[in-house]
């Protein structure tokens, strides 16, 4: 299984940018990098995903290293609502129906007012 490693926890101040790192040194060429987050007492929610190029959406940006062995989720202005556990997950091209879609412990982000 391709695996990811993330810091257990991070802290940020409200309205400041947050960079959440993820290492995936064993990534294969066809693995997609997905990010989800889990707010307290909620199910995970999709944030963003990418393959090789950097990606932007209304929630966040995803910066992918050139060698693809690491990626960074960027929240441009953290709000209190962004306090959550953030999961970085690799999804193989052949991984249909979620058989290898495993969420690790993730990074617990605290946002300070």
Partner 1 sequence: DTAVSQTPKYLVTQMGNDKSIKCEQNLGHDTMYWYKQDSKKFLKIMFSYNNKELIINETVPNRFSPKSPDKAHLNLHINSLELGDSAVYFCASSHPTGKYNEKLFFGSGTQLSVL
Q: Which residues contact partner 1 (rule: CB under 8 A)?
A: 32, 36, 41-46, 49, 85, 87, 91-99, 101-106
Q: Report phi then psi at 80, rounded to 5.
A: -60, -30
Residue (11 or 45) nearer to partner 1, CB: 45
Residue (14 or 32) nearer to partner 1, CB: 32
Q: Report phi then psi at 75, rounded to 5.
A: -100, 120
Number of residues that this document lists for the chain:
113
Residue (17 or 104) nearer to partner 1, CB: 104
**In the complex, minimum distance from the CB of residue 53 to partner 1, in angstroms, rounded to a whole number:** 14
| 46 close to 38: Cβ distance less than 8 angstroms | no
**In the complex, minimum distance from the CB of residue 106 to partner 1, in angstroms, rounded to a whole number:** 7
**In the complex, minimum distance from the CB of residue 16 to partner 1, in angstroms, rounded to a whole number:** 26
Name the region of 13 (left: φ>0; alpha: ψ -120 to 50; beta: rest).
beta
Return the SS3 of 88: strand
Residue (39 or 80) nearer to partner 1, CB: 39
Return the SS3 of 97: helix
**In the complex, minimum distance from the CB of residue 93 to partner 1, in angstroms, rounded to a whole number:** 5
């Amino acid at each position: 299984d391709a695996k990811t490693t993330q810091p257990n926890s991070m802290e940020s101040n409200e309205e400041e940018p947050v960079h959440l790192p993820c290492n995936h040194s064993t990534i294969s060429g066809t693995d997609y990098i997905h990010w989800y987050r889990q707010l307290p007492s909620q199910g995970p929610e999709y944030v963003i995903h990418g393959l090789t190029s950097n990606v932007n959406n209304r929630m966040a940006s995803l910066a992918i290293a050139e060698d693809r062995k690491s990626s960074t989720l960027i929240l441009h202005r953290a709000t209190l609502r962004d306090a959550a556990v953030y999961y970085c997950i690799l999804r193989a091209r052949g991984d249909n129906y979620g058989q290898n879609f495993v969420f690790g412990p993730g990074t617990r982000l605290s946002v300070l007012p």
